[in-house]
Amino acid sequence: MVTIMLLKEYKNIAEKVYSQKLPNGLSVFVVPKPGFQKRYAFFATDYGGADRKFKLGGKWTQTPEGVAHFLEHKLFDTPDGGNALTTLSANGASPNAYTSTDITAYHFECIEKFDENLETLLSFVSTPYFTPESVEKEQGIIAQEIKMVEDDPDYCLYYGFMKSLFHHNPMRDSVAGTVESISEITADTLYDCHKVFYNPSNMVLCVVGDVDPSKVIDMALKVLPKHAGEIPERDYGSPEVLSPCAKGFYKDMEVSLPIFLAGCKIIPPIHGPQYLRHSLINSLALDLLVGHSSPLFIKLYSQGLINSDFSASFDCAVGAAYVLFGGEAREPKRVFEEVQTEIARLSKSGLDAQLFRRTKKAALGATIRAFNSFETTCGNIVEGHFRGFDPFDAPEVLSGISQDDILDFYRTSLLSDNMAISIVAPH
């Protein structure tokens, strides 16, 4: 019954969320959207490409790079010889999945037959089926994908940047692993990691749409394991120093214009409600620094040094955090220097008050509009659950950010000594 679920209403943004933690440890969130035809389900585990060393039952285990991504691919295989992607698609759903540094998620959207599709989603994710033959076949497929992506300029640019920033944190490594590392994966490896990380205690189910929350709970209770599993202890190595591993990466490839990524290692936000506030400060600070309405972006764009693809972002995972900015640029190093000069100027002279109000208002509008996206809402709820914050508090938290918060971020976090640049240029 719905009455056994916790209901939290956010009247300032006209949203409500039902939630419940089941006896098996699974956390369930349902965001009702009465009158909408589309319904969206998102089933995620707190497990990604960086979770390679973990302790369970007092014993440490080290797995090869790429297991989380490999496991995501193989879980779609069902014991009857079928494939869950095919089943969901044939039933009118649009399914997909992804593996990031710290999360693996399976999701679908549909208009009809939601209950059947939800049962399929929960069943195949919780029912591993691997054979030595199917694992060997998948090794060949993923090896080809790895070889293809290693020739992609954007891939080389990004991981050149990450390996420049980080000394040993697994964020510097490809989620897909290497051809050599995936060759070490066996069916037993996949079964072991599924048992550890795909237990309900380590997972979240989120549904958005015109659905009955009690039916979502009933389906989860019907399909998923009845007992909670142990949450593993993870090891990502010793804390990273803020200085980069290398100041830069450079490679010649088949590109029409130079592309670059530059950025800075920063202290990662702490787990809990403060994580949300720090993330919003970081994102707003980047908008004010190099966003499309910032004086620096307008200057660089008018001089032809960058184009409209230029962007910036903040990311944090597995004990490390960074900001980055980049795009196509005729003179990447000059753009990099201009950004550092602008950070120093703003740190000394302060922000334009009118620009701050306008940029903050735009960020607030974008934050509220994001709740219209079922996929974004689910992703934010899952991230918030794993990192200890409530994403529906974002508008209120953003409203409380001041100019001093932004300037403090520039002065204490965006330090030139902690920056690096990655460039891929034409032959």
Mean pLDDT, 10 residues at a time, the chain of 427 residues? 75 94 96 96 97 90 96 94 94 97 97 97 96 95 94 96 96 96 96 95 97 96 93 92 96 96 96 95 98 97 96 94 97 98 97 97 96 96 97 97 98 97 95
Residue 175 belongs to some domain of the structure: yes
378 falls within a domain = yes
Both tokens assigned to 322 = 């960074």
Whether 293 and 163 map to the same domain: the answer is no
90: in domain: yes
Quick one: 158 and 85 in the same domain? yes
User: Any long-range contacts for 1-9 (C-beta under 8 Å, 24+ apart)?
Assistant: 1/214, 2/212, 2/213, 2/214, 5/30, 5/213, 5/214, 5/217, 8/392
For residues 386 and 105, is the Cβ–Cβ distance under 8 A?
Answer: no
CA distance 51 to 362: 36
Name 165's Cβ contacts closer than 8 Å, sequence gap at least 6.
Answer: 172, 244, 245, 263, 265, 322, 420
Q: Is residue 239 part of a domain?
A: no
What stretch of H or E contains 253?
strand 248-253
- Domain extent at residue 340: 248-426
* pTM for the full predicted model: 0.94
3 state SS of 38: coil
Q: Say whether both 47 and 159 belong to one domain.
A: yes
**Last residue of some domain: 187, 210, 234?**
234
Say if residue 145 is in the same domain as residue 292.
Answer: no
Provide the pLDDT for residue 49. Answer: 97
Residue 227 and residue 53 in contact, taking contact as beta carbons nearer than 8 Å: no
- Output the domain CATH number for residue 43: 3.30.830.10
Beta bridge partner(s), residue 205: 28, 43
| Residue 14, SS3 per DSSP | coil
Residues 292 and 328 occupy one common structural domain: yes
- At residue 3, the pLDDT reads 42
* Bridge-based pairing state of the strands 6-10 and 203-209: unpaired
Contacts of 236 (CB under 8 A, 6+ apart): 50, 53, 169, 170, 318, 319, 320
- N- to C-terminal Cα distance for the chain? 64
Whole-number Å distance between alpha carbons of 157 and 309: 15
Please check whether residue 103 is in contact with residue 48, taking contact to mean a CB–CB distance below 8 angstroms: yes
**Domain count for the chain:** 2
Tracing tokens 């599993």 back to the chain, one arrives at 229
Cβ atoms < 10 Å from Cβ of 410: 21
Q: Which amino acid is at 424?
A: V
How far is 406 from 351, CA to CA, in rounded Å? 9
Question: Residue by residue, what is the 3-state secondary structure of 381-409?
Answer: HHHHHHHCCCHHHHHHHHHCCCHHHHHHH
The two structure tokens encoding residue 328: 């196509």
Which residue in 275, 296, 273, 424 sits closest to 359, CA to CA?
Answer: 296
114 domain residue, yes or no: yes
Annotated active-site residue 65? The verdict is: no
Say whether both 28 and 117 belong to one domain. yes
Give yes or no for a contact between 155 and 149, defined as CB atoms under 8 angstroms apart: yes
Which is nearest to 395 in space by CA: 368, 359, 414? 368
pLDDT reported for residue 132: 94
pLDDT score, position 188: 95
Could you give the CA distance from residue 32 to residue 377 in angstroms, rounded to a whole number?
12
Q: Report d(CA 327, CA 306) in Å as an integer.
A: 7
Tokens matching residue 53:
């060393």
Q: What is the pLDDT of residue 225?
A: 95
Q: Say if residue 175 is in the same domain as residue 272.
A: no
51 & 199 share domain: yes
Q: Which of 231, 222, 153, 224 is nearest to 427 (CA)?
A: 153
Shared-domain flag, residues 48 and 142: yes
pLDDT in the model for residue 427: 83
Tell me the sheet residues that pair with 44.
105, 204
Task: Name the catalytic one among 15, 65, 72, 328.
Answer: 72
- Residue where a domain stops, chosen among 179, 199, 234: 234
Mark out the alpha helices in 210-266 (DSSP H runs): 213-223
Is 371 found in the same domain as 302? yes
Q: What is the pLDDT of residue 52?
A: 96
Same domain? For 158 and 298 the reply is: no
The gap from C-alpha 18 to its chain's centroid, in whole angstroms, comes to: 23
The verdict on 273 and 146 lying in the same domain is no
The reported pLDDT for the residue numbered 2 is 40
Of the three residues 204, 234, 264, the one that is the final residue of a domain is 234
